[in-house]
């Protein structure tokens, strides 16, 4: 059935500072509008009825995607997933983020949806969040009490959502520069390529000859939020990366998962697949890291 959107006020500030002031004074239930994919869909279904939307669309410069003087990748709040996918800067410097973005099938969704919006929706099945966790990305927020930064792994709150307060706006995501000797891989399991993940895994390893100096394993769709498999990361760190060690880490990663059973998959199957996908991703990432 077609439903018309409930009436709301639409405000269009022209700077981020004005957006923060407007959001603070707009009252309970006001929402920030970026790409609108999730927000407008929920409003169309009358799941939420915000009295006021604050659009970021008229603020210049928010669709930025560039490498700063510090070598970090800077992603603005209006930068679309499609821009990230098509960026040679991203595919060359941060191929893991490119791979994760490419997993999203619909060109329309990628052309409209923003990367920051994908994170703010805070679904545990995000393809983007595990990749950014493995890359140690940082979320930059601003609100009436000022600006702050938070590691992306701490941005999401289990059983809930994210730490983003109703009066805060994400202003930027930064991703540290790639380090020499690192390799990464992204694996997703879904019913079809267009479907939401049953399980997804992003891994990154830093290699020094046969020794693993650093490891990141982030799991999506297998807990109430994106989770890091820290015990598995610790097992790998400092170890000689034999196939047995990689398999051991993959088995340990399963313990970080607490999946549910739903229409997409059963809990047991998801758990098993965390092990399989993590082992495959670790092997691929290790090979990509090379021997130097």
Interacting residue ranges for other proteins, rule: CB under 8 A: 1-10, 33, 36-37, 40-41, 44-45, 53, 55, 57, 82, 105-109, 111-112, 193-194
Burial class (CB in 10 A: 0-12, 13-18, 19+), 54: buried
Burial class (CB in 10 A: 0-12, 13-18, 19+), 241: buried
In the complex, the smallest distance separating the C-beta of residue 145 from other proteins, rounded to whole angstroms, is: 29
Which lies closer to other proteins via its Cβ, residue 104 or residue 189?
A: 104
In the complex, the smallest distance separating the C-beta of residue 289 from other proteins, rounded to whole angstroms, is: 28
In the complex, the smallest distance separating the C-beta of residue 99 from other proteins, rounded to whole angstroms, is: 14
Which lies closer to other proteins via its Cβ, residue 34 or residue 241?
A: 34
Which lies closer to other proteins via its Cβ, residue 46 or residue 211?
A: 46
- The angle formed by the CA atoms of residues 287, 213 and 85, to the nearest 5 degrees, is 55
Which lies closer to other proteins via its Cβ, residue 76 or residue 178?
A: 76
In the complex, the smallest distance separating the C-beta of residue 48 from other proteins, rounded to whole angstroms, is: 13
In the complex, the smallest distance separating the C-beta of residue 160 from other proteins, rounded to whole angstroms, is: 24
In degrees rounded to 5, what are phi and psi of residue 178?
Answer: -65, 140
Say how many Å lie between the first and final Cα of the chain, rounded: 59
**Is the Cβ–Cβ distance between 177 and 93 less than 8 Å?**
yes
Which lies closer to other proteins via its Cβ, residue 36 or residue 93?
A: 36
């Amino acid at each position: 059935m077609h439903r018309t959107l409930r009436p709301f006020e639409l405000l269009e500030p022209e700077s981020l500072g004005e957006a923060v002031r407007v959001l603070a004074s707009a009252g309970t239930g006001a929402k920030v509008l970026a790409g609108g994919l999730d927000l407008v869909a929920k409003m169309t279904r009358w799941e939420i009825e915000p009295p006021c939307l604050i659009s970021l669309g008229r603020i210049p410069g928010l669709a930025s995607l560039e490498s700063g003087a510090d070598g970090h990748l800077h992603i603005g709040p209006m930068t679309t997933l499609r821009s990230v996918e098509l960026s040679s800067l991203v595919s060359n410097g941060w191929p893991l983020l490119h791979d994760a973005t490419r997993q999203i099938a619909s060109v329309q969704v990628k052309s409209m949806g923003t990367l920051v919006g994908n994170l703010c929706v805070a679904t545990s099945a995000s393809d983007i969040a595990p990749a950014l966790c493995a890359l140690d990305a940082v979320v930059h927020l601003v609100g009436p009490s000022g600006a702050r930064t938070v590691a992306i792994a701490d941005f999401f709150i289990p059983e809930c959502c994210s730490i983003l307060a109703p009066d805060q706006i994400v202003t930027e995501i930064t991703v540290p520069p790639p380090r020499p000797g690192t390799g990464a891989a992204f694996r997703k399991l879904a019913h079809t390529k267009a479907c939401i993940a049953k399980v997804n895994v992003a891994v990154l390893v830093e290699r020094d000859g046969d020794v693993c100096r650093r490891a990141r394993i982030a799991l999506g769709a297998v807990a109430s939020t994106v989770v890091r498999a820290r015990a598995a990361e610790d097992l790998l760190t400092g170890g000689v990366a034999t196939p047995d060690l990689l398999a051991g880490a993959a088995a340990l990663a399963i313990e970080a998962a607490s999946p549910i059973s739903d229409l997409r998959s059963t809990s047991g199957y998801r758990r098993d697949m965390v092990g399989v996908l993590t082992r495959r991703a670790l092997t691929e990432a290790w090979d990509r890291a090379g021997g130097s």
